Amino acid sequence: MATVVQAPVELMESVAALRLPPTADCRLQALMDRNTNGGLSPGEREELEGLVDLSETISLLRAEALHLLGRNPV
């Protein structure tokens, strides 16, 4: 049985607008580019994995919020 939770539209709008901060996004891109060439240290690989996890979590939250708002991801 699904649980129904009411949330203000403003909250869903805020969740739908979530993004990685620009500096974190740039760092993620740089690490992914270097990873393609096999040039990451173990610490950088761990940092990359953490940023990928964070990015995926944000994407899933955004997708659910957009679905609840009746919109498609842009």
Please report whether residue 4 resides in a domain. Answer: no
| DSSP helix/strand/coil, 67 | helix
Please report whether residue 61 resides in a domain. Answer: yes
- The pLDDT of residue 1: 66
Report CA-CA distances (Å) from 6 to 11, 23, 52, 57: 10, 33, 30, 21
What is the number of structural domains in the chain?
A: 1
Domain of 39?
A: 9-69
- State the Cα–Cα distance between residues 46 and 51, nearest whole angstrom: 9
The mean of the pLDDT values for the chain is: 92
Please report whether residue 2 resides in a domain. Answer: no
Average pLDDT of the segment spanning 57-61: 96
Q: Is 28 or 2 the better-scoring residue by pLDDT?
A: 28
* CA dihedral over 74, 14, 67, 57, signed as positive or negative: positive
- State the Cα–Cα distance between residues 41 and 31, nearest whole angstrom: 10
pTM summary value: 0.82
